[in-house]
A and B are shown apart, each in its own frame.
Chain A
Amino acid sequence: MATSIETFTAGTETAVDVAEVERQLRDLWKLASKDVHQRITRACLFNLIAYVETIADRDCVTAIISEVTSRHPCRAMVLLAQPELPRDEIAASITAHCHLAGGGGRQVCCEQISIHASGQRVADLPGAVLPLLESDLPAVLWWSGNFLDRLDLFRRLRSVTDRLIFDTSSWPPPVNLRQLASELPAPSQFSDLSWTRLALWQQLVAEAFDEPHCAAALPRLSEVEVIHGGGPGATLRAQLLGGWVAAQLGWSAAETQARLRLSCREDRDATTVGVMALTLRGPDFEVRVYKNHGEHTASVVVNVPDACGLPRKRAFAPDDVAALLGQELDRTPTPAVYRRALLQAGN
């Protein structure tokens, strides 16, 4: 064994033969468990398969995995696919992500297997992944980029995993929402990180309508207005937010078209990441949620007869990809709600 425990657990990549990955890892963890100085525990709750297409994305994803594994220990596999390269090659490397856990210098570690395939060998990636999946543990496919552009490979990898995570914010417009919905059939489990970024908006609106007077006003809702900025994925996110309200209220396609208004505003606030305001109106009421300028907070103002009109302000959760991925891994996805919102957004 050429790799030392120190090298492995320090996060340095070691090249290994694809067929030898499992054996090499087994040997390294065995050595690690005997190392009285390092006090290492290997932890694994699920398989995380990350798909990327550039070296820069692979490095970025590796950094995110290092962060995410501190709360979500897993076997991570990073698949770098470069079908456009002329050489048909497949190669693997292994490393570990270790985090101090509690006192006494004990470390909890997870392994990362990186597989780089180019040319024709990209088609071998699903076959390389399958034997490396930890048995009896769920497998999550985290697809960086637009999987509609790589449907064949996507479907093959999707078929061996239990859950899909993607981020439509990074997809270049226009996005074919109907095609996207067709690739997410029930009862599959999936999460769109762009949807995760809407969590506080949805939460504030739902909370406002928990109040009995507001709940009674909800059937009279006749207009939904979403104002968004011009950042990456902002339009799609605004569509999803509007689509969500329409879908949850059971509006028809025609009702949605008549009642939902989306508008883009110039926004010089660097803290805005998409939606700027959401207003729900009826003949005698208005509930408005808006992002506060220069702050990572949103406020809600309720103007409903007899309801408590005190404004409320709440902070957005961190919205970097590591934080969003962590949030998604913390919870059970709600694909049915998303799918309905997507279909309404497509209207």
Chain B
Amino acid sequence: MENPLREGLVTRHAAEPCVVVIFGATGDLTRRKLVPALCNLAHEGQLPAGFAVVGFARRPKSNAEFRAELLDGVKKFSRFNPINPAVWDSFAQGIFYHQAEFSDATGYDRLNQFLRQLDKDRGTAGNRLFYLATAPPDFTTIIRQLGAHGLGRGTASRIIVEKPFGRSLATAHELNTELATVFDENQVYRIDHYLGKETVQNILALRFANEIFEPLWNQKYIDHVQITVSESLGVETRGSYYEKSGALRDMVQNHMMQLLALVGMEPPAGLAANDIRDEKVKVLRSIRPIEPGHISQSSVRGQYAAGSLAGKAVVGYHEELNVAPDSRTETFVALKLFIDNWRWASVPFYLRHGKRLPKQTAEIAIQFKAPPAVLFAAETTAPVQPNVLVLRIQPDEGIAIRMNAKVPGTALHIEPVKMDFRYGGSFGARSPEAYERLLHDALAGDATLFTRSDEVEASWRLMDAVLTGWQTAGRPAAYEAGTWGPPEADAFIAKDGRTWRRP
């Protein structure tokens, strides 16, 4: 029934009363991201009255201890600082701790009983959102237990699965199959926090709410696209995880392929979840697979050696904690991909990601073709530069356009100038955190910003081919920490007569 009192109100429709059950509730993700995001939603009045959080973890802990730990995290990581005590008190009354092993069936029996009690006490009416914030090896155990205890298909439950979603096409498919035995696809929310970023969502607005860009968004006018996600940090304390993952699995397969899909997709039929996801899948399926025999023409991988960053000496990857001295894990990857469809035929998409690069940045650069050199060639000394449209995702989120202008004077001297729009300068309002947006959407049953099983598998299919090619391609090229990657990466793009941007 339509609520007439909703007309014109600023905040979104509050989700139905719901219990969020977080598996891995004592982990960093819960403390730093999930609960601060939920508390932010409470602050903004976007949680229903009966909302509850149940933390499921192995360590013994009382409700009071759990709430105190979470409050500490909220104080540090919430964007509402200081947190309003009235909001916290009201929110904390709905937080509970449930101690059990993930594989212990009796723990799920007790969970089931407790959830039924919450249904009575808080009016949650069987509406549950399970959040897998554990290490990936626990995913299958938890999914099976949920299924065995009647908490999956046929109920009002949904499940959020954190990354990494598999480590190959086979393992991703296996996980999808496990999920499909317990949940329907519309109950599954695979989270990619990049999609919760305001600037990533803005890609669709920029493309489809501005008539000036879309007519140029094709192979006729665009020379190539560069997507760069660089990190100045090394692997820090995550050496053992990174050894199994590497740059391709950690960043390219999920976040960067999502960026590519959003840049490359056709206008969707609507803004419903499947309208957008259908178009993204089409792009991923249209990407030309990299043949293992052509791996060196389509990719470069690197590994950082010792160097210096921001005036400080840093160790090489091999010297990092929990990294094998002879590790071949890549910390840098550059790919050249082609989307074989009408819009993008023969336009290369260069993807570049690495650790220990000079700075932390994420951007998408659309480089347009150079104008014909007939008009100004005789009058100017340097060739006219092509236009570039840059979508900066982080930091300093914004959009810049490089265009050409005549330098004032009697001579015809043309120089590139930059028009720069910065979110921070124009919209002072602080954006909601990515997890805030995504959790709210999952609570409200909106899967638009979550990845679908076929999307994940389409992306893994492409990455598997790269990983297979690398198996016989020797060691990753070394690069000095604090540089923009190995010299091989420069040569890789230079072969095409292009250069990497300096973000």
Contacts and interface: CB of A to CB of B under 8 A. Distances in A.
Contact of B87 (A212, A250, A302, A315): A315
B4 A71 contact: no
Contacts of A336: 8
Nearest to B80: A315
B50 A248 contact: no
B428 A310 contact: no
A309 B17 CA distance: 12
Given A206-B9, A207-B14, A245-B5, A71 B428 contact: yes
B424 A206 contact: no
Contacts of A248: 4-5, 7
B310 interface: no
Q: Chain B interface residue count: which class?
A: 20 to 34
Nearest to A215: B1
Interface centre among B396, B422, B428, B429 (most CB of A within 10 A): B428
B294 interface: no
Nearest to B123: A308
B49 A312 contact: yes
Nearest to B93: A310
A45 B4 CA distance: 33
B10 A199 contact: yes
A2 B250 CA distance: 58
Contact of A334 (B7, B11, B17, B86): B7
Contact of A102 (B13, B49, B424): B424
B6 A102 contact: no
B10 A331 contact: yes
B232 to A, nearest CB: 14
Interface residues of A, number: 48
Contacts of B171: none
B43 interface: yes
Contact of B90 (A204, A210, A216, A313): A313
A101 interface: yes
A308 B87 contact: no
A297 interface: yes
B329 to A, nearest CB: 32
Contact of A73 (B10, B90, B426): B426
A269 B76 CA distance: 33
Given A102-B424, A315-B43, A308 B10 contact: no
B122 interface: yes
Contact of B49 (A209, A295, A308): A308
Interface in B1-55: 1, 3-11, 13-14, 17, 43, 45, 48-50
A293 B280 CA distance: 53
A19 to B, nearest CB: 26
Contacts of A300: 49
B425 interface: yes
Nearest to B395: A102
A330 interface: yes
Contacts of B381: none
A206 B10 contact: no
Q: Does more than half of chain B's interface fall in helix, strand or loop, or is it mixed?
A: loop
Nearest to B87: A315
Contacts of A30: none
A267 to B, nearest CB: 20
B210 interface: no
B84 interface: yes
A65 B84 CA distance: 26
Contacts of A202: 5, 9
Interface string B83-110: 0101101100000000000000000000
Interface string A206-247: 110111100110100000000000000000000000000100
A41 B13 CA distance: 38
A1 B122 CA distance: 68
Contact of B86 (A199, A215, A315): A315
A218 B5 CA distance: 10
Contacts of B425: 41, 43, 73, 101, 108
B49 A203 contact: no
Given A199-B10, A295-B86, A310-B50, A209 B428 contact: no
B119 to A, nearest CB: 10
B3 A215 contact: yes
A202 B10 CA distance: 10
A71 B430 CA distance: 9
B122 A308 contact: yes
Contact of A308 (B6, B13, B50, B422): B50
A101 B49 contact: no
A310 B426 CA distance: 40
A206 B3 CA distance: 7
A97 interface: no
A297 B84 CA distance: 10
A321 B7 CA distance: 24
A310 B122 contact: yes
A334 B8 CA distance: 6
Given A71-B429, A308-B49, A314-B45, A337 B123 contact: no
Contacts of B86: 292, 295, 297, 313-315
Interface in A186-210: 199-200, 202-207, 209-210
B92 to A, nearest CB: 12
B9 A101 contact: no
Contact of A312 (B7, B13, B84, B90): B90
11 contacts: A43-B426, A70-B428, A203-B45, A210-B14, A249-B4, A297-B86, A308-B122, A311-B49, A313-B87, A313-B89, A314-B86
Ranked nearest first, the 3 interchain pairs of A and B with the lowest CB-CB distance are: A71-B428, A308-B123, A334-B8
Given A206-B5, A300-B49, 8 more contacts: A41-B422, A207-B14, A210-B6, A210-B13, A218-B3, A249-B4, A295-B86, A310-B49
